[in-house]
Structure 1
């Protein structure tokens, strides 16, 4: 499943290629993905002003012909991909939606498992939507700090990995990046959140931010279906310190990387380096 760095990479790629273009037409090849698709025709003739991200949602801001701003919100699910092509390119495998712009380029949405979903909001309906209400702070903005996370952790018995993967605590720290961040901070993934010192929590916040920023610069992690909008993979997976490396030697101490299951997800760690 694409995590925050992958979604950020997609947003930046789309912003570069599509910002300022006018949406000429759209076509949905099916009525639903994970949920029923919205009526994209309300965006025809609209100008795409900007593309950004909130958590793992891709937000496309359009100014419509009536002067109203509407937000096309996408979640990529597990296998969703966006590709920007010429509008005369035939539909590819698992292509479910296409958007054709005034200059002859076409945005295609492909999703093999169809767990992605979309909706259209106004500014007001987005701010009050159930999708937004449950989200914690962005990990790369100032609201996510050592002081914030330490306060959230107090008297919490949940394992720290499970705790930081909870989107109500902080958004976008998925399974890969939680494992990598905890290794960088030297914290055992099963340690209770409330039993970690303030100093180590500050260290963890720094590790999360460093890990995510490094992953974004590397174009994300392509370990399954993820590719950037140009069809090329991301390369952060080549630098994994623990994720997916069960039984291999730790690069710091030569102990074997171990794997456990937490909340149904695989966790990778070094029992020597992480306490």
Structure 2
């Protein structure tokens, strides 16, 4: 079993800054939200349903961000109850397309993947970024994926295409609003050992009649190997996100940072 990572945190680093984290109730998004909360930020997040644990979020908005109505609900609530964010982290993402290659990815699945992994960020930026530009300061982080450059054809083709578009969009946005005081960067994780990943390892081990270490290695082999020998932990992704939007990274803009343990085989 891979253990969670703990880091020493400056509890005042983001003191009183307003941070919006999409997808902040599960997985890496949950770790990102907690990282900012632990450093003194005022946090807003959203999900389709009320989470059981809301202790690290100051404002929770129930909204489906894969829909235009959900995006408008979130943006309206942020503007009226939260104010202009200092930092936006778009960590929302995922894939529900079944295996079987391109022929199984129907029009409905393609639209779902695009709405969730690309258009949610595009639509939300369109509604909230003008306020940040008017103020003249802020930071935006788009969480993409190494699958933008290493797509897996069996079940995540549409997801990979959407994330590739998100990475390109993030770069274009950085060129437009960087001169107006808003820094924009992209984080592209590889395999992250979230609760969902742990459950997948357990299921694979049980179905194959083997142990979890063997099942975990099988997943890494399917990815072409992870030279570091393990997936990233959610807390490690959160640390990278916190650094990139902090004053410590004040000259980093329009860049993509990969956190994949060396999975990508090329530069």
Larger radius of gyration between Structure 1 and Structure 2: 1
The alignment's TM-score, normalised by the length of structure 1, stands at 0.26
Higher strand fraction (1 or 2): 1
The alignment's TM-score, normalised by the length of structure 2, stands at 0.26
Higher helix fraction (1 or 2): 2
